[in-house]
Amino acid sequence: MKAMHPQGWGVVAGALFIVGVSAAAEPDLCIYGGTSGGVAAAVQARRMGRTVVLIEPTRRIGGLTTGGLGQTDIGNKAAIGGISREFYQRIRTHYTKPDSWRWQQREAYRDGGQSRTGLAEDAMWTFEPSAALLVLEAWAREAGVEVVRGERLRQKEGVVKDATRIVSIATESGRVFRAKVFIDATYEGDLMAAAGTSHVIGREANSQFKETLNGVQTKNARHHQFVVGVDPYVKRGDTASGLLPFIDPNGPGVEGAADVRVQAYNFRMCLTDHPDNRLAWEKPAGYDERWYELLFRNYEAGYKGVPWSFSAMPNRKTDINNNHGFSTDFIGQNYDYPAASHAERGKITARHRDYQQGLMWTLANHPRVPQAVRQEVSRWGRCRDEFADTGHWPEQLYVREARRMVGAYVMTQHHCQGREVVEDPAGLAAYTMDSHHTQRHVDAAGHVRNEGDVQVGGFSPFPISYRALVPKETECVNLLVPVCLSATHIAYGSIRMEPVFMVLGQTAATAALQAIDEHVAVQRINYPKLRARLSADQQVLEWKGPKAGGAAARLDVKLEGVVMDEGEARAMGDWTPSRSQPWKVGEGYVHDGDSRNGAMELTFTPDLKEAGEYEIVLHFPPFANRATNTPVAIAVAGAAPRTVKVNQRDARAAGGSVLGRFTLPAGKATMVTVSNKAADGYVVCDAVQFRKVK
């Protein structure tokens, strides 16, 4: 829509110039979306002495950072700098105060996993939603950020443009916001789309950018799967009875091909087991037991675990995420969300909430769920002191991916893995290329399977191009997009983490204000000048740490003999992949989720070229939450196995735990089986090494 007034900025050959006098009264920057990235952008603008308005469609700023995602997805902490790192430093300061520990003694809290905080660290990486909200609200208040809450962009005709420049945006209430430069910091990319910039929803074909991990991924979907043999039909074995709910009848599609499916969403639940703060699970209105039939059948087929990923937060709270074949992800029920109206998104969000609340009630109460699982889930409940204004349930749906801009530059798998390196970094990304499942389908054997999960790491932190934050110049010259940035589905899976959104938000604000000062389009700013300012503001733009990824840098090339990575083992049960430890054999390792169910095994069968005496070594990253009695059975040529118990808490095992010396025949006559039978903590496996004794 063309502007009807003469004031504002004109555009000539990529340069911006002020027309008239009224533009001087406009704020320099308008940010739509009070996510963590949006707040970081607003704070940066105010610290640079400029005017800014931050518009948040809901009443709560912070997005997922204040919406339950307290287990920070980092990849590598050293890649996080600037305002983003300052947030986590402020979190640590918050928890140094005695009155921050209401439900637990500070000394009793032990965080774990990739986000654990070392004693010497200046930051803290796990936190309660309420703590994150306190920090972000204080930030905005101290910086003098004008925060406008509860104003949603008018999705149709809500953006007024003069040629390629946004003049103003309008919200559903009728309010109009003008600015010199705009930032879209939403998870959905509404402003970007309404401004007419190119974007995509779904997965590209591998062939488009010569990737291998994009498009349909049935072969890669090894994790978060059903037990083999779960029947997908309403009446078992009767195809005429139809499929159970939420199974895609059109799946899975052609391997590696493009589609419009979107990886699954869920809510990151903050739960507690403190009896004075816990709310019992309630059966939601309209509960439909058919929604959980696949869960029941998965248990009946042999699954025994609690289907969640559990991360301890301060004050006896948790961050709960999806894990295993049937869990909190509402797979396949979000395809319409990215481009939907606000009203339709509300319905989709409510349906996700009904599903997840129904799931929790089912796990805690339904007789077809194993008693041990019911007892464990019943110990936990919503927190009385979290999300009090939204029924003690987060309002923010975990929108892992929605629209993605097709901008001046596209980040791909090749950038993640270091085959291509950009020269104009806006910040670093460091997480595994991660996609949750996108669909549930019937496989060739007639059983239910999940598709879309990809978890591939093993690479160093990598730079994100500044050009990936800006649209094509022919489309818009005064818009930056640090959240729904320009990246393929699989590259976005590595970039899309909250610390990175804060990094990119700060960069976007800095660049926006520089474009104003230089009177140029955001695509044409002086990049060396931007880089100098970012470096002065403690952004990390270049990785100078140890290189990872690629055979030459992997630990396994330094190991003698035959080395089998965990992916080469025959797996029983749904092992969870991880790569949080800096040194690994190959690209990562797996753990059993501390399920202690005795139902999970990894069996390694090496192909030994010659007979002889071998040392067998189990490799794993030791840590305090590991099992002290992980059973490893070694069976040779059909003889009765010898079982060795391994203490996986022992730090001395970082270079591998020797299981003993064994006389082994040539060929595939040896089996080494790692299990979690009677384990007293996390069972972890990285690799098994067969080292011939000289």
Q: What average pLDDT values come out for the chain (694 residues) when binned by 10 residues?
A: 36 41 71 98 98 98 98 89 97 96 92 68 94 98 97 96 98 97 98 98 98 93 90 97 96 95 98 97 96 97 91 95 96 98 98 98 98 96 97 97 98 96 97 95 96 90 97 98 98 97 98 98 98 97 70 45 88 78 72 83 92 92 85 88 90 80 92 92 92 84
Whether residue 401 is contained in a domain is answered as no
Q: Yes or no: say if 211 and 175 are a contact pair by the CB < 8 Å rule.
A: no
> Of all residues in the chain, what percent carry a pLDDT higher than 70?
92
- Report helix angle 498-518 to 527-536, nearest 10: 130
Verify that 84 and 220 share a domain, yes or no: yes
Verify that 539 and 561 share a domain, yes or no: no
445 secondary structure, DSSP code: T
Report CA torsion sign: 58, 60, 61, 63: negative
Distance CA 685, CA 588 (A): 9
Whether residue 51 is contained in a domain is answered as yes
Whether residue 396 is contained in a domain is answered as no
* HSE-up of residue 92 (Cα within 13 Å, Cβ side): 16
How many other C-beta atoms can be found within 10 angstroms of the C-beta atom of residue 532? 11
Whether residue 89 is contained in a domain is answered as yes
Verify that 110 and 196 share a domain, yes or no: yes
Q: Yes or no: say if 661 and 613 are a contact pair by the CB < 8 Å rule.
A: yes
Listed residue (34, 31, 38, 27) closest to 57, CA to CA:
34
The predicted structure's pLDDT at residue 128: 98
The predicted structure's pLDDT at residue 557: 37
CA 392 to chain centre: 23
Whether residue 397 is contained in a domain is answered as no
The predicted structure's pLDDT at residue 79: 94
Verify that 472 and 573 share a domain, yes or no: no
Q: Can you tell me whether residue 402 is helix, strand or coil?
A: coil
**Global pTM?**
0.82
The predicted structure's pLDDT at residue 113: 57
Range of the domain at 642: 554-692
Name the residue type at position 668: K
The predicted structure's pLDDT at residue 581: 63
Verify that 253 and 278 share a domain, yes or no: no
Verify that 127 and 250 share a domain, yes or no: yes
Distance CA 676, CA 694 (A): 33
Verify that 369 and 422 share a domain, yes or no: no
563 secondary structure, DSSP code: E
The predicted structure's pLDDT at residue 132: 98
Verify that 252 and 289 share a domain, yes or no: no
Which of 543, 567, 584 lies at the terminal end of a domain, its last residue?
A: 543
Verify that 100 and 208 share a domain, yes or no: yes
Which of 514, 543, 572 lies at the terminal end of a domain, its last residue?
A: 543
CATH number reported for the structural domain that contains residue 675 in this entry:
2.60.120.260
Which of 515, 543, 571 lies at the terminal end of a domain, its last residue?
A: 543
Whether residue 28 is contained in a domain is answered as yes
Q: Which residues contact 97 (CB under 8 A, 6 or more apart)?
A: none
- Tally of domains in the chain: 3
Verify that 427 and 283 share a domain, yes or no: no
Verify that 651 and 595 share a domain, yes or no: yes
Verify that 327 and 355 share a domain, yes or no: yes
Whether residue 420 is contained in a domain is answered as yes
Q: Yes or no: say if 184 and 479 are a contact pair by the CB < 8 Å rule.
A: yes
Whether residue 400 is contained in a domain is answered as no
What pairing do the DSSP bridges indicate for beta strands 448-451 and 439-442? antiparallel
Distance CA 118, CA 582 (A): 14
